[in-house]
């Protein structure tokens, strides 16, 4: 993929598939998916089927995070420009580096899926990735245990990289996920209606995983602290943008396109970005938000403002 990118780069040719980031790393993404299935093998039958549930072919989700991380690896492993003499990585070194970065993509997806399993229990969700959520199929208890199991396997893979900086970055992300979810569950009315609180919560809940794993890719590539910080900022902004769009899709998407019920956030009383913007324009909406959405009439009322 690296050489493909360079060929296009040198000739400045813009071809259709260059514009599709997923196709640039499609083959490698299949490797990551196969590896993920192998990483959740266990001799405990119930745990095996629970853990495999969302790593089955066809229910793998968008694999947005692994895609971003593989692309980030491509960008950061290129020879450093304006460097004289040019630093070229040896083939064996490149292969080893790339497989360590693939490992970050796998760990990130495992942490993500673990958080989805726990989230669906907390939200009593019934659909995920277009099929019944695991809590519906196997019950809350096994869903929680399956999430714990995935986290444990992610930790083992992380330790195998033998890089303490990377270990502490991704370990901290797990705390951020928990913090973001807790902030969402325990808010005062003022906090729920504040954009600052929303951005902080969204960093913890969604952007931290993407930004810190982008930074980990840069660290493994041996990049400078400055480049690692740029990779972090890129992942942070991408993660925040991802959640903003996810929030909009909660209102505009269909259950088929979302793989879960539409309006599921609003039904759980979550004040999403469109609602925050609408509240700025229509202060009356605040009273409806404060009253809550257990009363379905309030959902219809709020939708009128959106």
Which of these, 167, 196, 241, 217, lies nearest to 67 by C-alpha position? 217
Q: Which stretch binds ligand GRG (CB under 6 A): 70-78, 164-172, 175-183, 267-275?
A: 175-183
Using the minimum distance from each CB to ligand GRG, give the nearer residue, 18 or 246: 246
Strands 127-128, 131-132: pairing is antiparallel
Query: Residue 131: beta bridge partners?
Result: 128
Q: Which two tokens stand for residue 100?
A: 């360590």
Shortest approach of ligand GRG to residue 148 CB, angstroms? Answer: 7
- For the bound state, the minimum distance from the C-beta of residue 154 to ligand GRG, rounded and expressed in Å, comes to 9
Alpha-carbon distances, residue 122 vs 150, 171, 178, 262, 290 (angstroms) = 17, 22, 12, 18, 21
Residue 146 within binding range of ligand GRG, rule CB under 6 A: no
User: Reduced to 3 states, what is the DSSP secondary structure of residue 58?
Assistant: coil
The residue among 225, 236, 217 whose CA lies nearest residue 76 is 217
Structure token pair of residue 15: 């071809």
Stretch of residues binding ligand GRG (CB under 6 A), selected from 59-67, 75-83, 268-276, 282-290 = 59-67
Q: Which residues share a beta bridge with 127?
A: 132
Instruction: Answer yes or no whether residue 47 interacts with ligand GRG by CB under 6 A.
Output: no
Shortest Å, Cβ 255 to ligand GRG: 14
For ligand GRG, the closer of residues 59 and 75 by Cβ is 59
Residues 234-293, interacting with ligand GRG (CB under 6 A): 243, 246
Number of residues that bind ligand GRG (CB under 6 A): 21
Q: Which stretch binds ligand GRG (CB under 6 A): 17-25, 89-97, 177-185, 298-306?
A: 177-185
Nearer to ligand GRG, 129 or 285 (CB): 129
d(CA 114, CA 145): 9
Shorter beta-carbon distance to ligand GRG: residue 28 or 180: 180
64 touches ligand GRG by CB under 6 A:
yes
| Distance between CA atoms of residues 223 and 229, nearest Å | 10
Which residue, 214 or 285, has its beta carbon nearer to ligand GRG?
214
Interatomic CA distance for residues 282 and 274, integer angstroms: 12
Give the residue at shortest CB distance from ligand GRG: 61
- Compute the Cα dihedral for 151, 250, 236, 63 and give only its sign: positive
Instruction: Give the C-alpha separation, 140 to 124, whole Å.
Output: 9
Residue of the chain from 4, 56, 62, 141 that contacts ligand GRG (CB under 6 A) = 62
Q: What's the CA gap between 86 and 90, in Å, rounded?
A: 12
Smallest distance, ligand GRG to C-beta of residue 290, A? 24
Minimum Å gap between C-beta 300 and ligand GRG is 25
Angle (CA) 273 255 189, round 5° = 30
Q: Site residues for ligand GRG, window 195-214 (CB under 6 A)?
A: 205-206
Among 100, 118, 176, 201, binds ligand GRG (CB under 6 A): 118
Q: Which residues bind ligand GRG (CB under 6 A)?
A: 61-62, 64, 111, 114-116, 118-119, 122, 129, 147, 151, 174, 177-178, 181, 205-206, 243, 246
């Amino acid at each position: 993929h690296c050489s493909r990118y360079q060929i296009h780069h040198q000739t400045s040719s813009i071809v259709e598939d260059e514009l599709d980031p997923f196709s640039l790393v499609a083959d490698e993404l299949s490797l990551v998916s196969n590896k993920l299935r192998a990483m959740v093998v266990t001799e405990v039958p119930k745990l095996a089927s629970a853990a495999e549930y969302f790593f089955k072919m066809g229910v793998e989700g968008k694999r947005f995070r692994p895609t971003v991380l593989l692309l980030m690896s491509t960008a950061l492993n290129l020879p450093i420009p304006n460097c004289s003499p040019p630093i070229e990585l040896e083939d064996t070194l490149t292969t080893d580096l790339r497989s360590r970065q693939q490992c970050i993509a796998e760990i990130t997806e495992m942490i993500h899926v673990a958080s989805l399993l726990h989230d669906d229990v907390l939200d009593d969700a019934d659909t995920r990735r277009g099929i019944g959520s695991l809590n519906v199929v196997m019950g809350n208890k096994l869903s929680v245990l399956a999430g714990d199991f995935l986290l444990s396997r992610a930790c083992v893979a992380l330790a195998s990289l033998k890089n303490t900086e990377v270990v502490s970055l991704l370990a901290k992300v797990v705390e951020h996920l928990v913090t973001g979810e807790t902030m969402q569950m325990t808010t005062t009315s003022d906090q729920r209606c504040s954009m600052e609180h929303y951005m902080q919560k969204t960093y913890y809940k969604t952007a931290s995983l993407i930004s810190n794993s982008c930074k980990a890719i840069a660290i493994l590539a041996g990049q400078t602290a400055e480049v690692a910080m740029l990779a972090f900022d890129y992942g942070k902004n991408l993660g925040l943008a991802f959640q903003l769009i996810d929030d909009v899709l909660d209102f505009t998407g269909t259950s088929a396109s979302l793989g879960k019920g539409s309006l599921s956030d609003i039904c759980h009383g979550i004040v999403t970005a469109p609602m925050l913007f609408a509240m700025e324009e229509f202060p009356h909406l605040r009273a409806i938000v404060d009253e809550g959405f257990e009363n379905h009439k309030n959902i219809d009322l709020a939708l009128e403002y959106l």
